[in-house]
Amino acid sequence: MSRPRFAAVLILLTSASLLQPVVAGDLEPPGSPAPTMKTLVDVEPRTALRNQFDTLTPLVIDQSGSYYLAEDIYAFPNAYGIEITASYVTLDMNGFSLIGNLEVGSWGGIWAHSPSGVLKGIVIKNGTIRDFLNDGIDLTLAKYCRVEDMFLTRNGLDGTGSGVRADTSIIKNTIAADHPDAGITGFGNIVTECISTENDIGINGAIVSTSYALFNADDGLRTSSNGVISNSSAVGNGGDGVEASNSLVIGSAIDGLNLVNGTGIHNEVN
């Protein structure tokens, strides 16, 4: 084929391809575009708590939900540091401290109460509570609660307070030091992986396990009737190392220094 004829054929083929109809895609979108940004609730589905210096009022949690401290909280005189008046509240202290007023006095650290009845399902964790006149944490008007990963010290400066006071609850991985009453106390509690030192009574609970009571003025470990103390130690306490009437003591070490005013293990089984 000569060059002029070949060129003519190529031009005809190119022209024919350009004349073919072009099929376009559907220009209508299938639906409205989905949001690409998360809301603040999605990013942080908890409520931050900060000091209320502008209103000079204490913090009150009156709705169920999850809360966290965004800074150290300083309590006001003649008030509790934080009041919880609703069930099913989780308070993550987020590594911060709740601090009482030593000059004038703050009543207590965290107090759970409600005029409508006993509260349930309160969780307090991951922080420090110190320098209050009464208990560091008072959950006696609540039940089925948890206290975890806490450090409580120098509460009860009026001479009667404890670190943690709760009933039918779990206290775990918590240190209580330098309280005029018990470090950890209450009825029907499970206390595990805790340390109580330089209080009046170390730990008082229905079931105490893997815990340590040392240098308390009175008894180190106490349990109520039908309780259990297991895999724990009591060292250098002024009263009984273990006061376990009608209860079971398993695999626990009781140091001779507990014999100052009592016996190493006082276990009366009737």
Q: Render 32-75 in DSSP notation, one character per residue.
A: SPPP-S--HHHH--SEEE---TTTT--EEE-SSEEEEESS-EEP
Whole-number pLDDT of residue 270? 36
Whole-number pLDDT of residue 79? 95
Whole-number pLDDT of residue 184? 98
Judging by beta carbons within 10 Å of its beta carbon (0-12, 13-18, 19+), is residue 38 exposed, middle or buried? exposed
Among 157, 152, 173, 178, CA closest to 165: 152
Contact yes or no for 228/202 (Cβ under 8 A) = no
Alpha carbon distance 177, 106 (integer Å): 19
Whole-number pLDDT of residue 262? 41
Alpha carbon distance 43, 143 (integer Å): 31
Whole-number pLDDT of residue 261? 35
Alpha carbon distance 243, 201 (integer Å): 10
pLDDT tens-place values along the chain, 270 residues long: 555 555 544 444 455 554 555 555 555 656 565 566 655 555 568 999 999 999 999 999 999 999 999 999 999 999 999 999 999 999 999 999 999 987 778 999 999 999 889 999 999 999 999 999 999 999 999 999 999 999 999 999 888 899 999 999 999 999 999 999 999 999 999 999 999 999 999 999 999 999 999 999 999 999 877 899 999 999 999 988 888 878 888 888 776 444 333 444 554 433
Q: Where are the domains of the chain?
A: 52-158, 188-270
- The answer to whether the pTM exceeds 0.85 is no
Contact yes or no for 246/225 (Cβ under 8 A) = yes
Identity of the amino acid at 55: T
Contact yes or no for 149/128 (Cβ under 8 A) = no
Residue 188: both structure tokens together: 């029907």
Strand partners, 228: 207, 248
Can you tell me which residue has the tokens 């670190």? 163
Among 49, 71, 73, CA closest to 62: 49
Whole-number pLDDT of residue 180? 96
Alpha carbon distance 221, 244 (integer Å): 8
